[in-house]
Amino acid sequence: MNEVKLKYSKPPLTLNEQIILLKTRGLIVENDNELKYYLKNISYYHLSIYFKHFQDADKFYNGVSFNDILRIYKFDNKLRFLLLELLERIEKSFKCRMAYELSIECGTGHWYLNKSFFVDVNRHSEILKIISDEVAKSGEISISHYKETYSEPPLPPIWNIIEILSFGQCVKICKSLKREYRNKISRTFGEDEKFILSWMHCLSALRNNCAHHSRLWNKVFNFTPNKSHNKYQAYFSTKNEIRLFDFLIVLQIILSKINPTSSWLSRLKDNISEFTIDTRSMGFPDDWETKFNKIIADSQSL
């Protein structure tokens, strides 16, 4: 049976009308001008992502003020900036290792043109299309230089290509390789490919969440990292819901391998303390600091 759908008929509301609506729904507004500023520069719709966690249906819980919501929003925003910085470092490291390891192995930066490196012809064709499409629309100087200078091979070497591919696209290329080559790259991080590629996939997705201003606080993710690692399994959450904590464990594992002296954890603690955040909303267990510190200590003892 086909589900009956409604016709959308909600009219746009002025900023003042939006404020009135929030007040009628029970939100305590300490300063109308401050609320108007945020509605004007962030939007009602984006803030509503946070509103709904303080509501039953459309009504706000008793005593909820806009400052309560603003505190969470500011924490989330600051957290995204912190994670973007770290994820950029991890992305660059992964791309560099993918390009370097197989180029040295093969003696050419055009190894990706050879279908024998990939699990099957279809997967290789898919990867070539991704790369060709990105090259065709790229305005990068290095890509333009290659096109103007060389006729063969038709596409630039991998060290040029990784500069215009996204983190997720590079993970997809690596996943499409035969297992021996996936492991060639993954073992530079000291782990099997079944962990590194799962973890990198999750970190690339987390990076996209951050870059597109998506909520991280109390978010339930619809994908999960491989937690079955003999050494690290105990550090992950045992709950069925996948929240930010599991992704931060992955981030710490990788950072401990490429930047063991990173001070990101102290910055995270400061952020949590500044905005008095209940870390359980992000899936943090009570001993979360101990778990992160153990991962750091283990990496420094190697």
The CA–CA distances, whole Å, from 153 to 112, 147, 166 equal 11, 10, 22
pLDDT of residue 1: 56
pLDDT (mean) for 264-292 = 96
pLDDT of residue 50: 95
pLDDT of residue 285: 95
Same domain, 56 and 165: no
pLDDT of residue 9: 87
Handedness of CA 138, 142, 145, 151 (dihedral sign): negative
Cα(127)–Cα(135) distance, integer angstroms: 12
CA 8 to chain centre: 32
Same domain, 250 and 162: yes
Residue 178: how many other CB atoms lie within 10 Å? 14
pLDDT of residue 197: 97
Asked if residue 114 lies in contact with residue 153, where contact means CB atoms within 8 angstroms, the answer is no
Q: What is the DSSP letter of 30?
A: S
Question: pLDDT at residue 138 above 60?
Answer: yes
Same domain, 52 and 84: no
pLDDT of residue 2: 66
Question: pLDDT at residue 3 above 70?
Answer: yes
pLDDT (mean) for 94-120 = 95
Q: What is the DSSP letter of 133?
A: H
Three-state DSSP state, 118: strand
pLDDT of residue 298: 81
Same domain, 88 and 228: yes
Question: For residue 51, what are the domain limits?
Answer: 15-64
Q: Based on the structure, what is the number of domains in the chain? A: 2
Same domain, 54 and 92: no
Mapping DSSP onto H, E and C, the string for 149-172 reads HCCCCCCCCHHHHCCCCCHHHHHH
8 belongs to a structural domain: no
